[in-house]
Amino acid sequence: MSDSSGQRTRHWERTRNLTVIVLVVWFVFSLLVHWFANSLNGVSFIGFPLGYYLAVQGSLIIFVLLIFYQNWQQDKIDSDAGLSGDETEG
Amino acid sequence: MFKGNFIENLPKIYGFYTGGFVVFIILMAILEQIGVGADTIGILFVIFTVAIYAGIGWLSRTMQVSAYYVAGREVPPVFNGMATAADWMSGASFVALAGGIYFGGHGYLAFVVGWTGGYVLVNSLLAPYLRKFGCYTVPDFIGTRYGGNWARLVAVIILVVTSFTYVTAQINATGTIAARALHIPFEVGVWFGLLGILLCSMLGGMRAVTWTQVAQYIVLIVAYLTPVIWMSNKQGFGIIPHFTYGEAVARISELEPLLAVGAAAIEKAPSAGIKILTSLHNGPEDSVLYNWKFVTLALCMMAGTASLPHILMRYFTTPTVRSARRSVSWSLFFIFLLYFTAPALATLTKLQLFDPNLATAVIGKSIEHVQNLEWIKQWTSVGMLAVTDGNKDGILQINEFFMRPDIVVLATPEIAGLPYVISGLVAAGGMAAAMSTADGLLLAIANALSHDLYYKIIDPKADTARRLIVARVLLIVIGALGAIVASFQLTGILGAVAWAFCFACSGLFFPLVLGVWWKRATTAGALAGMILGFGAGSIYLWWTYTTGEMWFGLDHLRFGIIGMPVSLVAMVVVSLMTPAPDEEVQQMVDNTRDPSGATILEASH
């Protein structure tokens, strides 16, 4: 029992760390870069001004990749802790 | 039996459905070629698709509580992703987004960023945990985590205000599209739209809504992508314009000073709701206020996304916690397909109208030529577009061309000279987008009232049949109220949508997130967070909307920025002032964080 609760604590710590990393990336691409849109527009990226590109595509692509990455990592964290919940799948 | 087979056969069923839809489009194209009128084709598109949704609604009828509330928790992630995408992409996304970008330029892109970035919050902070909880509705989580009927009741009230604000905008959109496609008055169109919406949701609840939303997603995404790809090929931006339209952005920036974009109109708009283009396509201003407005709008939309009950409840329908997470990733992917297309559409359409080298250009042409264009005549006759000659030089200038933002998407196929079958397809897509969102919203309201208010608070002894009858009666009543309010046309579609997001994030964001992430959060804290956050946001909205004054540039689209900090501070302070939650609640939070094992609430409750 104590082992499984230690397991759970570690699982939650790792989950929390992953969430913090994800939220930092989210903050950078959802808010921070757009604050500097005007300066970034000086840079050209595949034919677009970069600030504009990030708002129409760049940030969006990062969000999609970020969620897939997070779920892939979270699946690993869950399996390592034996808490994947697979036994209820079906 | 049928049910097991149904889930296994989903890819086949929807593959067949998509094929059937494509055949239908080809059939319509043939009809157009042999001379069937444009009006008939528009009517056939809307009637045919709505009939299919109603048919799916009828086939999914149920008298089981868990099928009615959470589709029996058997929706596979990819399909739940599609259903969520349809649930999410409203009439506003489909009809108004590209128009907003066309008129608002870079500043408007805060919506695009906000409405996608919000899913990162949904996935990291809420969806998997709420799925583990096993609730039927969002107030069900609040009521169980914080205990007591008061927390549940306040959550129900916030949910109803939020979703009702949103649903009137959707019924309004279905009315607008139905009115135009079927040639009926707007007031009748609203009721026609409502009838379609109720046919999809009433008999089968969440199960019916899920399977119609998947069908609606397929229609709406085909309808959105087809004209853009077609237009891109005509203009030489390649098969997929998304990565090559940078040139078009540059060309517009080059033309803007020549065409004097930004000049004020000489004459007043001939009818309400239409305006001239004054914003630059890619013109972020170099000022702190501008950047502040961009990020605050994006933040309100993101936190709102993570608190909208009709979205969160979609993740209650998956078989496991892991599949709930997976379906968030698929949701964002399917939403992304439309959102990264909308700016391309806005850019290409603008170029069509601007560039003197293109045959479709209108700016800089003679007024007489423009007024005789078929699509100009069509939209002018319904008061959604106007061409005036303010300076009497006989040439159309940018500040003499008035247009309603909503029509950019609907008129694009005509502007680009595509066959009418594409316009009919776009109308069907807009209808699908508005109906699917309205379905989800009406169900969220009716379920919260029937499950949380009626069953959990008023009559806990009610039997299954009674609960499901109450749920359906409420669905009809709320739908009718929504249609009545929508027929008054109080606010624009977009205003109402942004308000719903701000209401949701002011009242629900922190109580939901801290319910999972902070064990110390107490009942009194949650109540304070909901009431004060929602109250502060609402009062600010009322003040800024009636007086026109504002703090730090926070207008009525951004009142969540006032509500959220109030909610957070109130919740933390009051929680710390009251005794910590007991052992049982702490245990419950621990269990919520563990993705394995049984749900916290019983499977049928």
Average pLDDT estimate for A12-41: 94
Give the HSE-up count for residue B280: Cα atoms under 13 Å, Cβ half-sphere: 15
Asked if A48's CB is within 8 angstroms of B249's CB, the reply is yes
Given a cut of 80, is residue B560 above it in pLDDT?
yes
Given a cut of 50, is residue A29 above it in pLDDT?
yes
pLDDT at position B491: 61
pLDDT at position B493: 62
Which of the two residues, A66 and B284, has the higher pLDDT score? Answer: A66
pLDDT at position B465: 87
Given a cut of 90, is residue B361 above it in pLDDT?
no
Q: What angle do CA B141, B200, B15 make, to 5 degrees?
A: 100
Please provide the average confidence, as pLDDT, over all residues in chain A. Answer: 88
Given a cut of 90, is residue B28 above it in pLDDT?
yes
Q: Which of B74-88, B262-276, B412-426 has the highest mean pLDDT?
A: B74-88
d(CA B123, CA B312): 10
pLDDT at position A1: 42
* B91-108 confidence digits (pLDDT tens): 777 888 888 899 988 989
The C-alpha of A78 sits at a distance from chain B's nearest C-alpha, in angstroms, of 7
Give the HSE-up count for residue B343: Cα atoms under 13 Å, Cβ half-sphere: 31
Average pLDDT estimate for B547-575: 92
pLDDT at position A86: 59
Element (H, E) at B429: helix B420-447
- Chain A residues inside the 8 Å CB shell of B599: none
Asked if A31's CB is within 8 angstroms of B319's CB, the reply is no
pLDDT at position B146: 93
The C-alpha of B248 sits at a distance from chain A's nearest C-alpha, in angstroms, of 9
- pTM for the whole thing? 0.92
Handedness of CA B541, B542, B548, B552 (dihedral sign): negative
* B470-499 confidence digits (pLDDT tens): 999 999 999 999 888 887 766 666 677 889
Which of the two residues, A6 and B311, has the higher pLDDT score? Answer: B311
Listed by start position, the domains of chain B span 2-357+416-593
Q: Whose CA is closest to B537, among B500, B573, B512? A: B500
Given a cut of 50, is residue B236 above it in pLDDT?
yes
Q: Which two tokens stand for residue B333?
A: 């992917």
First to last CA, chain B: 25
Residue of B nearest to A37 (CA): B284
Residue of A nearest to B101 (CA): A56
Q: Lowest-confidence range among A55-59, B68-72, B523-527, B594-598?
A: B594-598
Go through B126-156 and write b for each residue having 16 or more CB atoms within 10 A of its CB, e for each that does not: bbbbbbbbbbbbbbbbbbbbbbeebbbbbbb
**Please, are residues B522 and B500 in contact by the beta-carbon 8 Å criterion?**
no
- Chain B residues inside the 8 Å CB shell of A47: 244, 246-247, 250
Only one residue has tokens 């206020």, namely B289
Residue of B nearest to A85 (CA): B596
Asked if A68's CB is within 8 angstroms of B329's CB, the reply is yes
Q: For residue B230, what pLDDT band results from cuts at 50, 70 and 90?
A: confident
Residues 12-31 of A with CB under 8 A from B: 12, 15, 19, 22-23, 26, 29-31
pLDDT at position B464: 86
Average pLDDT estimate for B597-602: 80
pLDDT at position B186: 81
Average pLDDT estimate for B70-74: 89
Selected for mutation to probe chain B from A56, A64, A68, A79 (highest B CB count within 10 Å) is A56
pLDDT at position B568: 97
Given a cut of 60, is residue B110 above it in pLDDT?
yes
pLDDT at position B277: 86
| Superfamily of segment(s) B2-357+416-593 | Sodium/glucose cotransporter (1.20.1730.10)
* A63-78 confidence digits (pLDDT tens): 999 999 999 999 999 9
Average pLDDT estimate for B148-165: 93
Given a cut of 80, is residue A89 above it in pLDDT?
no
Residues 63-82 of A with CB under 8 A from B: 63-64, 66-68, 70-71, 74-75, 78, 82
- Chain B residues inside the 8 Å CB shell of A53: 246
Given a cut of 80, is residue B318 above it in pLDDT?
yes
Q: For residue B3, what pLDDT band results from cuts at 50, 70 and 90?
A: low
pLDDT at position B327: 94
Asked if A55's CB is within 8 angstroms of B109's CB, the reply is yes
- Chain A residues inside the 8 Å CB shell of B346: none
pLDDT at position B322: 92
Please provide the average confidence, as pLDDT, over all residues in chain B. Answer: 89
Q: For residue A90, what pLDDT band results from cuts at 50, 70 and 90?
A: very low
Given a cut of 50, is residue A88 above it in pLDDT?
no
